[in-house]
Amino acid sequence: AQKVTQAQTEISVVEKEDVTLDCVYETRDTTYYLFWYKQPPSGELVFLIRRNSFDEQNEISGRYSWNFQKSTSSFNFTITASQVVDSAVYFCALSYPGTYKYIFGTGTRLKVLA
Amino acid sequence: NAGVTQTPKFQVLKTGQSMTLQCAQDMNHEYMSWYRQDPGMGLRLIHYSVGAGITDQGEVPNGYNVSRSTTEDFPLRLLSAAPSQTSVYFCASIPRGGTGGETQYFGPGTRLLVL
């Protein structure tokens, strides 16, 4: 089965705290792609990162970092020193070569309180 | 480039009415798709198209029709709206020539309320 699970429905943190959003995926394929998207209160979907299954290096982009672990089928997203502007719904998604279909998780709503 | 555009931004329908949600992209993208977003359910694929004249069903196609007469446009039709179709609809596209796993570009969304 192909599935993406974001078990955290909603997380609240106080500004400047670090927060990790979990993403666990299920697949039998050896080649696949993982994504994170951000949906701020304005509603649009903003692309954050794409990772293929052969690249297990962690990625850092400013305050954002991603930890890809094939051994646990996880692709977790950490925001360091969170800010109010990070408040959004974050989606993890899975895709494959030869198909344009994405499988989305149900999303995690992050609330960063001032 | 305007990217992926959707109209209208918001629409209220009565049960049984029909309407078309418009989606256009000016990036010459080959693949286009429609998703619906409902609380607690993430984004679910309704229909998709891999090129002009080619469409196929996604995960939740019932109640929706699509066509792809041009590369640029991919309208979504609701023939007889039902309250269960109240949702936020997103159109997305992927560049030409991909082999899968490419980044999708999303439109701003259309919020639909069916009374």
Q: Which of B43, B45, B49, B68 to mutate to test the interface with A (most CBs of A within 10 A)?
A: B43
Task: Determine contact: A95 vs chain B, CB below 8 A.
Answer: yes
Residue A4: closest CA among A32, A24, A29, A27? A24
Please state, in angstroms and as integers, the Cα–Cα distance from residue B53 to each residue in A76, B14, B97, following that order: 39, 31, 17
Closest Cα in chain A to B92: A45
pLDDT of residue A42: 92
Closest Cα in chain A to B32: A100
Whole-angstrom Cα distance, residue B91 to residue B6?
Answer: 7
Say yes or no for a CB contact (<8 Å) between A43 and B108: yes
Task: Determine contact: B94 vs chain A, CB below 8 A.
Answer: yes
Average predicted confidence (pLDDT) for chain B: 92
pLDDT of residue B97: 63
- What is the rounded average pLDDT of the residues B25-47? 92
**pLDDT at residue B98 greater than cutoff 70:** no
- What is the rounded average pLDDT of the residues A5-19? 97
Residues 6+ apart with CB under 8 A from A38: A45, A46, A48, A88, A89, A90, A91
% of chain B beyond a pLDDT of 70: 95
Say yes or no for a CB contact (<8 Å) between A104 and B98: no
pLDDT in tens, B74-92: 999 999 999 999 999 999 9
pLDDT in tens, B56-77: 999 999 999 999 999 999 999 9
Q: At B85, is the secondary structure helix, strand, or coil?
A: helix
Whole-angstrom Cα distance, residue B22 to residue B19?
Answer: 10
**pLDDT at residue B103 greater than cutoff 90:** no
**pLDDT at residue A46 greater than cutoff 80:** yes
Task: Determine contact: B115 vs chain A, CB below 8 A.
Answer: no
Residue B64: closest CA among B89, B43, B92, B41? B89
pLDDT of residue A97: 80
Identify the helix (H) or strand (E) that includes residue B32.
strand B31-38
Ranked by mean pLDDT, the top range of A29-33, A34-38, A49-53, B26-30 is A34-38
What string of DSSP letters covers A58-96?
-EEETTEEEEEEGGGTEEEEEESS--GGG-EEEEEEEE-
Task: Determine contact: B25 vs chain A, CB below 8 A.
Answer: no
Residues 6+ apart with CB under 8 A from B7: B21, B22, B110
Of B1-5, B49-53, B101-105, which range is least confident?
B101-105
Q: Tell me A28's DSSP state.
A: S
Whole-angstrom Cα distance, residue B90 to residue A39?
Answer: 12
**pLDDT at residue B99 greater than cutoff 70:** no
